[in-house]
């Protein structure tokens, strides 16, 4: 099932859901345009690109890269415990020729029970349609506070327990913790989010560390499409992921 979005058990996914999740503050004149992202996805030979449904609908004929369709989303305006409502169905994902579905779960949020209920429905439907499931799992909310990193392995385990195929988590910077998170994910694959744009050398060292810890790759956005040379940095990341 993962054949379209992974190569030799590894993957590099271009994330572009930030327009909803963060708003236009992440964008400049170039990367505000989804066509620019699609060009990077194609030329950079990404294994998949992650969009919300509006972009997938409007730009469908230009999407030449396997599509991960995000089925839930929210803005970052509210500072309450997060919940990301379902805004697209698995059926719509199939119509949009998605190759996988994406879903964000905020573990530790006071709305965790609702998030799990929503995800259970989506997970069941995606299985019926034979679509792989990628979960973004982020520990968030008052109960988590600044301890997001402490729950990295827990996030990975939640993905396995709830039926994800690929689990996207944030790296807490500790390679041993990440190796433990990967073990906790069992047969599910772990990929790491990119985070805010950082110095290229720092990012590449982090990718090395992540891959050595047993992760299957990255699902990364700003560090690619905010870069001056997106294809160059993509190729350098791919060299590390596939150890070329
Ligand atoms: P970046 O590589 O740009 O950090 O994107 C990864 C990602 O998971 C996006 O898919 C998502 O929009 C964003 O980070 C959410 O991050 P946060 O919840 O920390 O604002």
| Ligand 1 neighbours by CB, cut-off 6 Å | 15, 17-18, 21-22, 76, 136, 138, 193-195, 220-223
Q: How far, in Å, CA of 187 to CA of 190, rounded?
A: 9
What's the pLDDT score for residue 176? 98
Q: Which atom of ligand 1 is nearest the CA belonging to 21?
A: 12
**C-alpha of residue 193 to centroid of ligand 1, in Å:** 6
Q: Atom of ligand 1 at shortest distance to CA of 17?
A: 12
Confidence of residue 159 (pLDDT cuts 50, 70, 90): very high
Q: What is the pLDDT of residue 1?
A: 86
195 Cα–ligand 1 center, Å: 6
Please give the domain boundaries of the chain with CATH numbers for all domains. 2-241 (3.20.20.70)
- How confident is the prediction for the chain on average, in pLDDT? 98
Give pTM, 2 decimals. 0.97
pLDDT exceeds cutoff 80 at 244:
no
Measured between alpha carbons, how far is 208 from 16 in angstroms, rounded to an integer?
23
* pLDDT tens digits, 72-93: 999 999 999 999 999 999 999 9
The whole-number pLDDT of residue 110 equals: 98
User: Looking at the predicted structure, is the pLDDT value of residue 52 above 80?
Assistant: yes
Helix axes 175-184, 200-212, angle to 10 degrees: 50
Residue 8 has pLDDT above 80, yes or no: yes
């Amino acid at each position: 099932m993962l054949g379209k979005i992974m190569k030799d058990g590894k993957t590099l996914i271009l994330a572009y859901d930030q327009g909803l999740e963060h708003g236009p503050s992440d964008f400049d004149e170039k990367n505000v345009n989804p066509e620019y992202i699609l060009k990077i996805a194609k030329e950079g030979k990404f294994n998949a690109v992650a969009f919300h449904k509006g972009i997938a609908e409007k730009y469908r004929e230009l999407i030449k890269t396997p599509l991960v369709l995000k089925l839930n989303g929210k803005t970052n305006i509210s500072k309450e415990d997060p919940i990301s409502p379902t805004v697209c169905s698995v059926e719509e994902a199939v119509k949009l020729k998605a190759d996988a579905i994406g879903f964000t779960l905020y573990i530790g949020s006071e709305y965790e029970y609702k998030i799990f209920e929503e995800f259970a429905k989506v997970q069941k439907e995606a299985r019926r349609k034979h679509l792989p499931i990628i979960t973004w799992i982020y520990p968030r909310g008052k109960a988590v506070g600044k301890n997001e990193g402490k729950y990295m392995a827990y996030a990975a385990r939640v993905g396995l327990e709830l039926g994800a195929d690929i689990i996207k988590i944030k790296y807490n910077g500790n390679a041993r913790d990440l190796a433990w998170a990967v073990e906790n994910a069992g047969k599910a694959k772990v990929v790491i989010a990119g985070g805010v744009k950082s110095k290229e050398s720092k990012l590449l060292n982090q990718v090395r560390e992540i891959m050595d810890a047993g992760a299957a790759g990255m699902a990364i956005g700003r560090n690619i499409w905010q870069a001056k040379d997106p294809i160059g940095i993509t190729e350098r990341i791919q060299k590390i992921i596939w150890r070329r």
